[in-house]
Structure formats: structure tokens, C-alpha cells
Structure 1
Amino acid sequence: MTARHFEKRRIAQTDIEVTTLGLGGASLAGIFSAVPGEQARATVSHALEQGLNYVDTAPQYGLGRSEHLMGDVVRSAHPRPIISSKVGRLLKPVDPAVQDKGNWVDPLPFDQVYDYSYDGIMRSHADSLQRLGLNQVDILYVHDIGVATHGAEANKPLWNQLASGGYKALRELRDSGVVKAIGLGVNEWEVCMDALALGDWDVFLLAGRYTLLEQTALAPFMTTCIERKASVVVGGPFNSGILVGGDKFNYAKAPDDIVQRVRAIEAVCKSFNVPLPAAALQFPLTHPAVCNVLPGPRSPQELDGILDWWDTKIPDALWSTLADEGLLAPGTPIPGSTA
């Protein structure tokens, strides 16, 4: 099988170059619906065979399941892809009969404990290497810290853990070369701004906040990333499925105003004979801070559909029409604009 050619973009000022399309590992671990292990591994293998060189996983995904599945494939891959995992959750064994499985179908028998401290991050990193069966991950993200996940009051002591020791651990891991890049993996841009006040970061994996449907992260977050020479990986480019024909937005049923906005965007796409998911997938890369888009297919067939959308040619006029009709935030950089 001949690999495709993908543009590569450098992460911040590191020596990491990632293909502009990556593979997210949450869906593969069985969120909302089951994904057989062989199917998950086949999806990762297919992504690498097609030429993608960046895969992302986390301890939370299937409560260890995603890391095991990813590691099975990545260990034997040549060349080895860029891989990221996350810190902030430690996994402890639990009786499956009383396990809080959340939205995971058939997770491994663990519960998660939030820990953003120095020791917690060091242990989380070591535990991930064991689950992956690897001697190194390239990128470590602080996972799901912030008000959106924890609530305002519960987040305060967790943020203090990161500020008083966790960030130091990440800097030590990066500065010693154990990992190549550090960042946050979150669903809210505001906490990324808080993190930038702590110090320097290489890359932020931001899900859902800079998409064809929503550009709330545009300023001050994305503009600050340009100034601070930090890169952005865009997760959730389909906003939980609403941009690929689903009814969910931000992991819940989409409200009417969101549905109406999607219909308006889709009407513009249809006028250019462009599938809405193709525009959604390619839109984030029009911003100079963005180095990668990270969808999460569940099967090789779903990945092939994504690759078809990726190959769709999109005229510059589609973006400018969306902007003219007020369907993109003012100042959104698009091809041919001076924003």
C-alpha cells in the first residue's frame, strides 16, 4: 500500500514535525459504543499505512484501554509515529461490579483519580509508558484541567497542584529530553490562557473551540499562541458529530440555535458542491497557529471516509462566503484574507 503525502507542520520551536491530519484515540477505546480490539488496532495500522505520523491517546480513554491498543501497533511501526499521551489522571484497580464506567463501553477495570501534582505527573507518565509498552512518548498534555471539567471550586486545588509542582515536573521531563513537547489537552481555551501565565508551553490540544461551527478561541487565545510561538492541535473538528450529520454538540443533544447555524453553513457548502464534513475537517488549518487536526474514527472504513473529505478541493470562495454571511467570527484568517 502506497502511503499518501501529507503536509507536515512543526510543533512550536521543537524538532517535531506532524502531518496535518492525525488520529485521536478516544473513540477507539469505545466511548458510547463498543469497538472491538482488532478493529481498533486495524484502524491505527491503517492510519499509519496511509501516511499519518501522529497519534494521540490518554489514560482516561477506556481507562487504560486506548493506550494498550495504541501501543500494540506503535511498538512495531517503522518509522515510529509521533505519539502523545496525557497526565492528570492516575488509574487504580477497582471491582468491575462497582466501577464508574462513565461513557466507556467495556473499559479496563480501573477508576481514575485526578492528580496534577509533581509526583502525580511523574507517576502518570511512567504508568503510560508501561501501558503503551514504549520507552518514550513525544508529547505530554495536561488532561482536562479547568472549570469545564471540575467546576470552579473543585478546580482550584487541582490548579494549585499544577502551579506548585506539576508544571515543574513537565518542564523537567521536557528539558531533560524525556519528552519532546508539553502542553494542555482540554475543551476550554480559557484555562490555556491561565497556563500561559505559568510559563512556556509547546502545544495545546484544544477540542471543539476552533471549528467551522465555533471560533470562540480565536482571540485572545489563538492570537497569543502566535505571539508566544505555541502550536495548536484541533481536536473534535466535527463538534461531537453535529458537523457529520449527528445530533450531538459538546457531547450532548444540540440546541436549536446550533442546529440552525449548522444548516446555514451546510447550505453554503452545498452551493460549492463541498460536503460539510470536508469543510469542517479542513477549516482549522487555515489558521497559522494550527499544526494538526485530530479526528477520531472507529474503524478503517470511517478513516477512509475522513481521507475522502481530506482530499476534497475547497475553493477559497467558500470560506469568504461564510465570512460574508456572518458564519465565521470577525477576524478569522481564511485563504485570501488579510486577517
Structure 2
Amino acid sequence: MDVRHFDRIGNGGLDFTELGFGTAPLGNLYRAVSDDDAHAILEKAWETGVRYYDTAPLYGLGLSETRLNRFLRGKPRDDYVLSTKIGRLLEVCSPDRRTGIGKFFDTPSRREVYDYSHDGVMRSVEFSLERLGVDRIDILFAHDVDVFTHGSRAAADARIDELMRSGYGALVSLRDQGVIKAIGAGINEWQAAQALAERGDFDLFLLAGRYTLLEQEALESFLPLCQERGIGIVLGGPYNSGILATGAKPGAYYNYSEASQEVLDRVARIEAVCKRHGVRLIEAALKFPLAHPSVVSVIPGGQRVAEVESNRALLDARIPPALWEDLKTEGLLRPDAPTG
């Protein structure tokens, strides 16, 4: 598997495999996965060459991190890149008050407490190191300072202000001391990522689902800003929650909800172009974001061994340049989208 070296500030940098592994599904997102199945999935990812793993306290309310603990215990620490997130502390609660009921299944009875302060960052790192069972984390992302999570622009802006006023100093200090290699944010909206990039010195953004075969609005201003400042992008959600993997089927998921008819129709048109060129929709969806020069890794995740194997096989797909040109001609891909 190809590796992309990223070193924005001259501290030795990090080596990202083009395909990483997002561990939200292993936090029992939408369905429960057994400990043994989760371990087998992670081992298969390693076997296929994946050496970048992303997690967060939110994913399974600590479950994703503790499952990585078992998996990483026998792996040489210098052989992989590991990121987790700050912004949520976990608090013991009664089962009926736990975070993510109906979204995360069979998880510990914990509830999220948002905290983007200096002390919140330091406590979150300490707890994550304990759950992960490692002596260092490579990347810290501030998690979900966006409208999607907090419900309004005003609420999201208040979280951004809290981060920049307090927690940001802790992130910079940890990076300056060499405790971590890079800082950034994991966000569902490119607009929030751009607001952070304009206010601070961030290295990487984990952008979930906002630069895909279906969506390229981030090319308006955010991705050019990243290129200008040497900021890297980890691209989560390359299938837009599923629809770019399943195709335009009734009930297909887009952005964590059932897709609208408008989205279904657009995906059907994209899929038709792919078929004309003998390319599967899911192949084009995984390969497309990797053509952007700022993207260092794509992290689709997976809840089955077969999904991990499939994602690795997709990297070897050959996409004819004419496919991208036809998508642009038909108005299904932005004219300025890099396609390699």
C-alpha cells in the first residue's frame, strides 16, 4: 500500500497509508460487534497494510479505544500512526442517560460532557492514553465543533471560541513539547474547519463526508486554503454514510439519514457514468478524494472482515481518465476537482 509522508512543521512528520481505518463502527455504531469480531477486523486491516488508525472517546463511549488497546498491544509503536480526539469527557451515568441511545449499542453507561478547555484537553488525553494502553498518541483532533453536532451556528461558534480561547493552547503546547506530532480537528462541516484554519495553526483536519464523489463544495475556499498553508486532510466517510457504496437504492443512507430523492437521483446519474466505463461506483468513490494533493489518507472503516478486504481491493482499481471527464461534462463533478 502506498504511503504519504506528511511533515508540515519539520518535526519528522508522519507516514500515512493511503487507506486508514476509522474505528467508529467498532464502537458498536448502529449495531453491536463482539470483541473477538472487532479484533479480527483490526487484524485484517493490519494484514492488508493499513497503518493509520483513528478513534475517539465518543465511539462506543470508550469502547473503540479499549478495543484498539487489545489490538495494538503487540504492535511495534513506531509502525503505525494513531489519532484520537478531545472535546468530550465521559462521565459515569445510569443506563437510561447514556449518550447515543439508538446509535451506539451495548456500550458502557457513560454520557458525554463537552469540554474544549485547556484542562479538558489534558484530562481527555490522559484518559485516552489509559484506554488505549499506549505511551503516546500521534495526532489530537478537536472533535465536532460544528452545527451538525451542536444544533445551531451560534452554539457551534461558542464551542469554537471555547476551543480557541483555552483548549487550543494545550494542543499547541503538547505539539511544541513533542508529546504529539500534529494537531487538528475532526469535523462534519468544511465551513467549521475553515473557521479554525483561519484562527489557528492547525496541521490536519479530519473531514467527514464533505469531499466526496457526491460533494465538492469544500473546493470553493477551504481546500485551496489547506493547499496554501500545507494543511493535510484525512478524509472520513468517503461513501457519504453508505450511498456511494450501495448505490441509489431505496433506504440508502446519506449523511447518517435516509437519502432524499434528490440525492438518490444524483447518485443514480453518477453510477450510470461509472457503468459506462466499466467502473463500480464504490471504486470511483474511494479513489476520487485521494487525487487531491492535500488528502493524506482516506478512512472508510468497516464492521466486517469482508468490508476491510473489499476496501483494500478498491485501491487497486484503475479508473479511466475519461470517466472523470464525463462526470465533469455532465455537471456531476466540479470542473476544478483534481482527478490525478
Asked if Structure 1 and Structure 2 have the same fold, meaning a TM-score greater than 0.5 normalized by the shorter chain, the answer is yes
Name the counterpart of 2:15: 17
Name the counterpart of 2:201: 200
Name the counterpart of 2:2: 6
Alignment of 1:147-162 (within 5 A): 147-150=147-150, 151-162=152-163
The CA distance in 2 between the partners of 1:315 and 1:222, in whole Å, is 24
The CA distance in 2 between the partners of 1:97 and 1:252, in whole Å, is 24
Q: AA paired with 1:127?
A: F
State the identity %: 44
1:80 aligns with 2:85: no
Alignment of 1:1-339 (within 5 A): 5-10=1-6, 12-13=8-9, 15-78=13-76, 80-102=79-101, 103-150=103-150, 151-245=152-246, 247-335=252-340
Task: Single out whichever of 320-329 and 61-70 deviates more from structure 2.
Answer: 320-329
The 1:11–1:290 alpha-carbon spacing in structure 2 relative to 1, beyond 3 Å, is farther
Q: Deviations over 1:93-115 (max 9, x none)?
A: 11224424331011122111000
The CA distance in 1 between the partners of 2:25 and 2:170, in whole Å, is 29
Tell me the SS of whatever aligns to 2:183: strand
The CA distance in 1 between the partners of 2:200 and 2:157, in whole Å, is 18
The 1:311–1:201 alpha-carbon spacing in structure 2 relative to 1, beyond 3 Å, is same
The CA distance in 2 between the partners of 1:159 and 1:286, in whole Å, is 30
Instruction: Let me know the Cα RMSD of the aligned residues.
Output: 1.4
8 A Cα contact 2:90 2:111, kept in partner: yes
In structure 2, stretches of 5+ residues that fail to align are none
* Pairwise CA distance, 1:134: 0.8
* Pairwise CA distance, 1:194: 1.1
TM-score when scaled to structure 1? 0.94
* Pairwise CA distance, 1:155: 2.6
Tell me the SS of whatever aligns to 2:29: coil
8 A Cα contact 1:297 1:303, kept in partner: yes
Q: AA paired with 1:70?
A: L
8 A Cα contact 1:6 1:52, kept in partner: no
8 A Cα contact 1:60 1:89, kept in partner: yes
The CA distance in 1 between the partners of 2:74 and 2:166, in whole Å, is 35
The CA distance in 2 between the partners of 1:11 and 1:206, in whole Å, is 19
The CA distance in 2 between the partners of 1:28 and 1:311, in whole Å, is 25
TM-score when scaled to structure 2? 0.94
The 1:46–1:11 alpha-carbon spacing in structure 2 relative to 1, beyond 3 Å, is farther
* Pairwise CA distance, 1:212: 0.5
Tell me the SS of whatever aligns to 1:101: coil
* Pairwise CA distance, 1:269: 0.7
Tell me the SS of whatever aligns to 1:313: coil
